Amino acid sequence: MRITQGCFSFLPDLTDDQITAQIEYCLANEWAIGVEYTDDPHPRNTFWEMWGNPMFDLRDAAGVMMELKACRKAFPNHYIRINAFDSTRGFETVRMSFIVNRPKVEPTFEVTRTEVAGRTVNITMTTRY
């Protein structure tokens, strides 16, 4: 099952040239870039591990791509995403986030509903690889 989180998640995987173009767009808007990774893509897992420090003063996409390649080398079977943070007063939030690396085998989430006494429904979610 393909995990769909963030921008572009319903599209085929982005090439490095396409990732670079998106990073250049973010940098042109003066957004800080962060690289994060995880092996737990559960939708409620919003806190991924940060690779290095956020790149607030970076002006060249090549620096982000260098960090991305290093993260891919260290964690080839993890999900990796790029976050673009807008520090403009009033926004101060992530404006763009997209997955740039996926493991070869992605997990499948299965939801099981069990009706119990009255109108109560128990919901269980399991992950399968």
The string of pLDDT tens digits covering residues 23-73 is 999 999 999 999 999 998 877 788 899 999 999 988 999 999 999 999 999
How far lies 112's CA from each of 3, 9, 45, 88, 89, in Å? 19, 25, 20, 43, 43
pTM: 0.81
Task: Return mean pLDDT, the chain.
Answer: 91
Whole-number Å distance between alpha carbons of 80 and 78? 6
**CA torsion, points 73, 77, 101, 10, in degrees to nearest 10?**
170
Q: CA 12 to CA 10: how far, in whole Å?
A: 7
CA neighbours closer than 13 Å in the CB half-sphere of residue 51: 24
Identify the pLDDT of residue 120: 92
**Predicted local confidence at residue 5, as pLDDT:** 84
